[in-house]
Amino acid sequence: MSRGSALRSIRAVIFDFIGTLTNLRRYNLEASEMKLCKAIKNSEFNIDAVSFLQAYRQAYEKYRIVRYQKLVEVTNAVWVSEALNSLGYETTPQDLTIKTAVNIFFQDYLNSLELRPCSYKMLKTLSNHYKTGLISNFTYSPVIYAGLGKLKIDKFFNTILVSESVGWRKPHPKIFNKALEQLEVSAHEAVYVGDSPLEDIKGARTLGIKTVFVSSQFNSLENLLESQQEPDLLAKSICELYRKFQRLVGG
């Protein structure tokens, strides 16, 4: 992808969030699960951690198949509710106690989010030259919005889409098309930046969107090669990508 024909018609840059713009530091899933158990026990549910976690993980695996094979997003409250119901309770995902417990579960995750070097500068620069968007696969939208606010980058995006709110996960074309629609650009006028070879690169390329792969703590250049996906541009870091974008926009 060069300053010439490849980017001449670009009007929008769309980003992935977790991994691409951010790192996840010092996060412990097991600790979050125990906090989820404690929050549920502190409400009206008399559960033991072993039984609940077993039921919770079974529900998670059930819906993981739906999420990754059918690309339909399912929020955490659904499998928390199903786990409790399998233990003899009557709940729905809309119950306030379940939503409160899910918020507690994600607190450590939210606290662990940090911007990758150069992310802020890059977003600030690009938002002055292009429409900018964000598409995130995440099971609980409030975490993404809170994370963007915490990191003070929400102001740089013209549209923000989270799979839990949209109902579809990347690489499903519907979530990409929704971003294009909200940004009022066509596929050939957009470039997508992400770290997942399949969810980001394959998903965007299927629609004719130009793509940029950025290696991350979750996906390396080796993972990209194994996937056989071919993005328009490669970057080993956000700082490297920022320098390339600076040359393109003259920033």
- Helix (H) / strand (E) element for 153: namely none
pLDDT tens digits, residue range 103-124? Answer: 999 999 999 999 999 999 999 9
**pLDDT band at residue 250 using 50, 70 and 90 as cut-offs:** low
pLDDT at 43 over 90: no
Mean pLDDT of the chain: 94
Q: Do residues 27 and 108 touch, judged by C-beta distance below 8 A? A: yes
Distance CA 135, CA 144 (A): 10
The SS3 assignment for 46 reads coil
Q: Where are the domains of the chain?
A: 5-21+116-249, 29-111
The reported pLDDT for the residue numbered 249 is: 64
Distances from the Cα of 199 to the Cα of 19, 203, 229, 233, angstroms: 12, 5, 11, 16
Identify the band that residue 7 occupies on the pLDDT scale cut at 50, 70 and 90.
Answer: low
Biggest CA-to-CA distance, the chain:
64
The CATH homologous superfamily for domain 5-21+116-249 is: HAD superfamily/HAD-like (3.40.50.1000)
Q: 3-state DSSP call for residue 157?
A: coil
The reported pLDDT for the residue numbered 142 is 97
Q: What is the pLDDT of residues 172-201, one digit of tens each?
A: 999 999 999 999 999 999 999 999 999 999
Share of the chain above pLDDT 70, in %: 95
Of 9 and 68, more confident: 68
Q: Which token pair is 103?
A: 């918020």
Residues 121-143 have pLDDT tens digits of: 999 999 999 999 999 999 999 99
**Residues 25-58, buried b or exposed e (16+ Cβ, 10 A)?**
eeeeeeebbebbbebbeeeebebeeeebbebbee
pLDDT band at 245 (very low <50, low <70, confident <90, very high): confident
